Structure formats: structure tokens, C-alpha cells
Structure 1
């Protein structure tokens, strides 16, 4: 079921042309930057976008310029875990790594304790309004979030990634907020 939903959503997302991705991404980033959790966050973990995801590269540069500390995930294949590495300059610090995603160059890795984070921006493919998500299938984020469930989490997604219900297991960790080009959705009740 998850594989089929993942495939359908990826097809729909990949059908967006580059202009649509940039336009929708711009709307999503605007809503994100207007949120209190963004304004109050000093240490933000965010993925580097690829495969027609909401474009985060410009956002990462803006956050660095604004004086926020930006951390990106570094995947460790052997242990299937995520490490958190600070990025200070996209062009100088990053290169193509696992899964074809930009990751820190070995000499530019600045691994820090994830407990420093105020906000985690979580990638994924399909989402429901409860905050459950279908990721890319590795389970990296669910394992990471299970250890750091006191940090605010959100996902930046296109409206087309929102589905009625994501099948979820006990080990799946929902995000707190979703932001689409149309709205900010609070997923968890207080």
C-alpha cells in the first residue's frame, strides 16, 4: 500500500514543471517564514531538496544570511541513522552524496548534538493531515525523530502530496505541522 501511494505521489510531483515547482515553493517558503516557529528558531535542521521537492536551496541560503544556524542531515548507511551537520556555505560545504543528494564534504562536516535543534524540517513523499508521512523507504527520519520527539517538526509540501490517510505503524512519527502552497496545517492536538 505504502509503495503504491509513494509511486503515485512521486509521479504526480515529478510531473510538475520547473516553473510550477519554483512558484509553489515560493508560496510555501513565504508561509513558512511568516510562522512563529520559524521566527523563533535559531537552530534549524532542513534537508537539501532534490527530485522536484519543495525547493529548499534558496531558503537555506536565506536562513544562513539571517544568522540562523542551519543543519542538514547526513545519512550513515551502515547504521541507517542520520547525523546532523552544520552548513555555513552551500557552495563551499556541500557535494553530491548518498541518494544523489547534496551532503557535507568530509572536510566540511560539522557534526553536532541534535538536541541543539529548535526546528526540524522533514522530507517525505505523501502526507495526511494527522502529520503521518510516507518517506522514501529508508526509515532514517522515523528512527531519528523517535529519539528527538520534543523538537518541533514540520514538512514543506505541495498540495498534491496531501492524501486522505497515510497507513501508519506504531513506529511512524507524525510531524507537528504541514505547510502547502495554500495553508499551514497543525497536525497534532495540544
Structure 2
């Protein structure tokens, strides 16, 4: 219940950002990510496609393509609550509006891969605490997906400052991310003191 109320409050806060703020703050968050070794060392990057005022990932996808990196995007399978990871080759040609109103690969552009090939995963969410726990959209897709990555694969949440919370309600299925990056800070969640 607690999570539901929190999710609603966080979405309201995020929805309150203007388009200009979203673009400006997204660019700042991306600059922080771009300066990091986790980003620069990665070759196979999974990126979400932003919707509803999420931190925009369009510039990142263009940047990855321009560096000759491989880009992968999630495809939700509502029946099983699984994510299929599909390689994105062309933002113009490969995508259509899919489940939940999110851009997803068209049927003929689904190129599934084993999550173990990924060496960086950008994780969406509604809210995050500094330990890397998230309030998601309630489907549990990422909590099921993240344990399937190769051990040691860096996971990064992109968020706006308004999405940071003191503590996310957690249960044993919740899988924290390693880094949370906002327009103002780069948080290494593994180094956060829990006191």
C-alpha cells in the first residue's frame, strides 16, 4: 500500500516538470553518466525508451550509436511479466508504440539476446533511494530481469532530483541498482553508509 501512495506522489512530482526542465535536467544527468568509466567502458548497453517525463535517453542512444556501441532496449511481455532484450539498430525504423504506451521494437525488429551479453543497464523507475532501491511502476519487470544479468554488470538509474526518496519500501525480490544519477549528483549506492 505504502508503495502505491509513494508511486502516485512521485509520479505527480515528476509530471509537474515542464518539457523544458525535463530536457535540461536529462541533459545534465546524461553529462554525468557520460563522464563515468561505467559508461565509457561499456559496449553493449541496455537503455529504456523514456515516456511520461522520465529522464530522456534519446541523446544517449545517439551518442552510443555514434561511438559504434551496441544498443539494446526492453520489450515487456505482460503475460509472463518478463523483459525481452532486443537489439536496436535504427530509432526511426525499429520502433512503435507498444505496451503501456512505451516505444518498443516492431515485430520484425525484435532481435532478442541473452541478458548476459549486456555490460551496462540503464534502469527506469518512479523513485530511488541512495541505497539504489527503487519504486518502479508496479509490474516487477526489472526485479525479475536484473538477477538474470552477468554478475558484476553495472546498473544505473537515471532520475531527477524530485524522484529521490529517503527510503524505498523493499521486500526480498527488490534488486537495487549500483548507481543513481540525477541532474545534480552521481551516487555510488555501494558506498552509501546505511546508518
TM-score norm. by structure 2 comes to 0.95
CA contact (8 A) 2:159 2:181 kept: yes
Pick one of 161, 164, 169 that aligns with 1:167.
169
Residue segments in structure 2 that go unaligned for 5+ positions in a row: none
Counterpart in the other structure of 1:136: 137
Partners of 2:29 and 2:150 in 1: how far apart? 24
State the match for 1:157 in structure 2.
Answer: 159
Which ranges of structure 1 fall in alignment gaps of 5 or more residues? none
For residues 189 and 58 of structure 1, the distance between their equivalents in structure 2, rounded to whole angstroms, comes to 28
Structure 1 residue 177, shift from structure 2 partner: 0.2
**1:166-185 per-position Cα deviation (integer Å, ceiling 9, x unaligned):** 11001100000000111100
CA distance in 2, matches of 1:27, 1:161: 15
Q: Matches of 2:132 and 2:90 in 1, distance apart?
A: 31
- Answer yes or no: is the 8 Å Cα contact 2:115–2:148 preserved in 1: no
* Residue 61 (structure 1) shift: 1.8
Q: 1:46-101, CA deviations, whole angstroms, 9 ceiling, x for partnerless residues?
A: 10000000011222122112111000001111111001000011011100000100
In the alignment, which residue of structure 2 is the partner of 1:125?
126
Alpha-carbon RMSD across the aligned residues, in angstroms, is 1.1
Q: How far apart, in 2, do the equivalents of 1:5 and 1:120 lie?
A: 25
The corresponding residue for 2:102 is: 101
- Distance in 1 between residues matched to 2:184 and 2:66, nearest whole Å: 26
The 8 Å contact of residues 122 and 158 in structure 2, kept in 1 or not, is answered as yes
1:84 aligned partner: 85
1:109 is displaced (CA, Å) by 0.8
Q: Give the aligned partner of residue 188 of structure 2.
A: 186
What is the TM-score of this pair, normalised by structure 1? 0.97
1:154 positional shift: 0.8
Instruction: Detail structure 1 runs of 4+ shifted over 3 Å in the superposition.
Output: none
- Partner of 1:120, secondary structure, is strand
